[in-house]
């Protein structure tokens, strides 16, 4: 029985949209993109808290084949990313292929019919290919603080920000000091009467060289696109150097990593007056164990008279405040949860995926190590492209990953068609070799060579493996996406 769709894509963020664009290029235009939210954009639709902006310059954090000359700042605000996603969806005719408000529960490979059966509540859809782009930072997390449900004031998670919620005159707490808090804390401090920031793990913060992009420069980018391409190349090369030398080759180039932490410490010293607060804000793990953050405002905020940093652990929450383990109660009327995302428990994969011989992908990853060939495919899961795989995140800008994966998809599917076949599956041998290679390479990285013990970094999974980032240069990722040995896959024909 022929499936309803050439392909079913799950997730309408930049990853799912990139997959859709590539499917069209391959002539597989009968696809559907399923999205649980009520609109497209993924991260940039869901998040709209005050201060949201990209932390990778916008010339780089965008599709290389669809540059936007009209970013208003070097680091565009979140709302511009949402608009950019809408523009791309319009230009590439993706919106009409999207189904919003659709939660995908799972997908099962139908061996007899050689296609995927995707379940959404009571309904099922069938597709020849399955592509999951459900995101890494897409499953919001709230720690189970005892008593949190008894809190009588306003509780708000940063992924569910209410734009009309007025922070003025509030006695607020922000729990969490990750990348989101670094953006939100300075904005909240401007409005609230009192702000207490609850920190479990300090974060490395480096200066953000941000500026408005004046209209003449935007015009130049629009009229002479090569100028924006050049800016992208310079910025991408700098990020690549930071990642490859400072993080992935930590063992060989420790001094480079040290320079980054010295710079961040100098930034902290220049911005925070109080010595004890400075010490509390200083990380005790190596730079790069966690994704570094950029801000010129975050540290300064702790000098303000209405802002306090709390580093004692939270014991419990009461109706009108937060009690720390030292017995101190901070009275609040607003509880802001900047507590991030659950990557490794409810993600990987975000939905139940059952491959050949009834193999459950989530169980396979947990029992046999997290793994995916080139961060894209898994043995025993035919015709399945997993865009949010272990070892797929390449470089610092996520668009580097998306475009490498688009190239891999293109090469793989073209080869499948060239052979006159309709199914592909990565071989056990190729997958094992890739896993061995990345495991070996990680040995040189800051993750294993450095001190990451106190980082609590989402790069590490529940087994202590740094299984998120691909430990190679992005140049290598892109080169392999267009040159991987074609016999790393087996090919076949549907009945
Ligand atoms: C606040 C924030 C700021 C960030 N800033 C940067 C940055 O500056 N630079 C950078 O490189 N990266 C940044 N990131 C990472 C960012 O997530 C990626 O850059 C990129 O947007 C991921 O795209 P994606 O399509 O893979 O995932 P997402 O954008 O997360 O999209 C996944 C989509 O899948 C949907 N979905 C999930 N499960 C289901 C299901 N079961 N059924 C149906 N739909 C489902 C989700 O609703 C979501 O829309 C940031 C992340 C966050 C949270």
- Which pair of tokens denotes residue 40? 């497209």
In the three-class reduction of DSSP (H, G, I as helix; E, B as strand; rest coil), residue 106 is classed as: strand
**pLDDT tens by residue, 229-266:** 999 999 999 999 988 888 999 988 899 889 999 999 99
Whole-number pLDDT of residue 2:
87
**pLDDT tens by residue, 54-103:** 999 999 999 999 999 999 999 999 999 999 999 999 999 999 999 999 99
Whole-number pLDDT of residue 495:
53
- What are the start and end residues of each CATH 3.50.50.60 domain in the chain? 5-139+343-492, 148-208+251-285+295-337
**pLDDT tens by residue, 228-238:** 999 999 999 99
User: How many helices and strands (H and E) does the chain possess?
Assistant: 14, 20
* Residues whose CB falls within 8 Å of the CB of residue 209, separated by 6 or more in sequence, listed in order: 74
Q: Are the C-beta atoms of 21 and 14 separated by less than 8 Å?
A: no
**Taking residues 472-479, what's their average pLDDT?**
96
pTM of the model: 0.97
- Residue 397 Cβ < 6 Å to ligand 1: yes
Whole-number pLDDT of residue 292:
84
Atom number in ligand 1 closest to CA 55: 8
Q: Which of 36, 394, 398, 402 maximizes ligand 1 atoms within 8 Å of its Cβ, making it the mutation to test the pocket?
A: 398
CATH class belonging to 5-139+343-492: alpha beta
**pLDDT tens by residue, 103-136:** 999 999 999 999 999 999 889 999 999 999 999 9
What is the Å distance from ligand 1's center to 42 Cα?
5
- Residue 42 Cβ < 6 Å to ligand 1: yes
- Residue 35 Cβ < 6 Å to ligand 1: yes
pLDDT over 80 (residue 215):
yes
Atom number in ligand 1 closest to CA 34: 43
- Residue 48 Cβ < 6 Å to ligand 1: no
Atom number in ligand 1 closest to CA 17: 25
Q: Tell me which of 3.40.50.620, 1.10.260.40, 3.30.2270.10, 3.50.50.60 is the CATH number of domain 148-208+251-285+295-337.
A: 3.50.50.60
- Residue 349 Cβ < 6 Å to ligand 1: no
* Residues whose CB falls within 8 Å of the CB of residue 389, separated by 6 or more in sequence, listed in order: 372, 375, 376, 378
pLDDT over 80 (residue 494):
no
Q: Name the region of 121 (left: φ>0; alpha: ψ -120 to 50; beta: rest).
A: left
What is the Å distance from ligand 1's center to 137 Cα?
5
Q: Name the region of 398 (left: φ>0; alpha: ψ -120 to 50; beta: rest).
A: alpha
- Percent of the chain scored above 70 by pLDDT? 100
What is the Å distance from ligand 1's center to 113 Cα?
32
**pLDDT tens by residue, 154-179:** 999 999 999 999 999 999 999 999 99
Quote the Cα angle for 252-256-262, to 5°.
Answer: 140
pLDDT, the chain, mean: 96
Q: Are the C-beta atoms of 438 and 53 separated by less than 8 Å?
A: no
What is the Å distance from ligand 1's center to 52 Cα?
14
- Residue 80 Cβ < 6 Å to ligand 1: no
- Which pair of tokens denotes residue 343? 């990557």
Whole-number pLDDT of residue 131:
98
In the three-class reduction of DSSP (H, G, I as helix; E, B as strand; rest coil), residue 300 is classed as: helix
- Residue 351 Cβ < 6 Å to ligand 1: yes
CA 134 – CA 11 distance, rounded (Å): 5
Atom number in ligand 1 closest to CA 120: 42
Whole-number pLDDT of residue 440:
96
**pLDDT tens by residue, 293-315:** 999 999 999 999 999 999 999 99
**Taking residues 8-22, what's their average pLDDT?**
98
- Residue 272 Cβ < 6 Å to ligand 1: no
Atom number in ligand 1 closest to CA 103: 42
Whole-number pLDDT of residue 103:
97
Whole-number pLDDT of residue 297:
97
Whole-number pLDDT of residue 404:
98
**pLDDT tens by residue, 322-381:** 999 999 999 999 999 999 999 999 899 999 999 999 999 999 999 999 999 999 999 999
HSE-CB for 136 with a 13 A CA cutoff: 17
Whole-number pLDDT of residue 391:
97
């Amino acid at each position: 029985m022929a499936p309803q769709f050439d392909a079913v894509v799950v997730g309408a963020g930049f990853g799912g949209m990139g997959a859709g664009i590539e499917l069209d290029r391959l002539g597989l235009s009968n696809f559907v993109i399923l999205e649980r939210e009520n609109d497209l954009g993924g991260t940039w639709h869901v998040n709209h808290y005050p201060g949201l902006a990209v932390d990778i310059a916008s010339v780089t954090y965008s599709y290389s084949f669809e540059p936007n000359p009209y970013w208003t700042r070097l680091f565009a605000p979140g709302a511009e990313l949402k608009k950019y996603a809408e523009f791309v969806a319009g230009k590439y005719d993706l919106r009409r292929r999207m189904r919003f408000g659709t939660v995908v529960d799972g997908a099962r490979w139908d061996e007899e019919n050689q296609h995927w059966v995707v379940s959404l509540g009571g309904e099922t859809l069938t597709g020849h290919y399955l592509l999951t782009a459900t995101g890494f930072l897409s499953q919001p997390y709230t720690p189970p603080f005892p008593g949190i449900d008894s809190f009588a004031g306003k509780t708000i998670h940063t992924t569910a920000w209410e734009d009309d919620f007025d922070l003025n005159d509030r006695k607020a707490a922000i729990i969490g000091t990750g990348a989101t808090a670094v953006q939100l804390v300075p904005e909240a401090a401007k409005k609230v009467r009192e702000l207490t920031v609850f920190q479990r793990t300090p974060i490395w913060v480096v200066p953000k060289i941000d500026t408005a992009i004046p209209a003449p420069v935007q015009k130049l980018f629009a009229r002479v696109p090569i100028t924006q391409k050049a800016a992208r190349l310079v910025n991408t090369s700098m990020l690549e150097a930071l990642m490859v030398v400072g993080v992935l080759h930590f063992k060989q180039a420790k001094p480079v990593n040290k320079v980054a932490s010295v710079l961040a410490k100098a930034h902290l010293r220049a911005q925070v007056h109080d010595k004890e607060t400075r010490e509390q804000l200083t990380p005790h793990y190596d730079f790069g164990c966690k994704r570094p953050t950029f801000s010129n405002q975050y540290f300064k905020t702790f000098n303000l008279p209405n802002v306090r940093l709390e580093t004692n652990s939270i014991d419990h929450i009461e109706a009108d405040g937060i009690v720390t383990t030292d017995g101190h109660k901070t009275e609040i009327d607003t509880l802001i949860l900047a507590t991030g995302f659950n990557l490794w428990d409810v993600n990987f994969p975000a939905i139940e995926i059952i491959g050949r011989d009834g193999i459950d992908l989530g169980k396979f990853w947990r029992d046999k190590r997290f793994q995916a060939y080139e961060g894209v495919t898994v043995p025993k899961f035919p015709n399945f492209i997993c865009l949010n795989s272990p070892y797929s995140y390449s470089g610092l800008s996520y668009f580097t990953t998306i475009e490498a994966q688009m190239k891999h998809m293109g090469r793989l599917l073209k080869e499948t068609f060239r052979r006159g076949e309709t199914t592909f599956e990565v071989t056990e041998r190729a997958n094992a070799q890739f896993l061995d290679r990345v495991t070996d390479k990680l040995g040189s990285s800051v993750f294993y060579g450095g001190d990451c013990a106190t980082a609590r970094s989402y790069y590490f999974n529940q087994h202590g493996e740094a299984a998120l980032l691909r430990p190679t240069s992005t140049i290598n990722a892109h080169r392999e996406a267009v040159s991987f040995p074609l016999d790393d896959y087996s090919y076949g024909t549907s009945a």
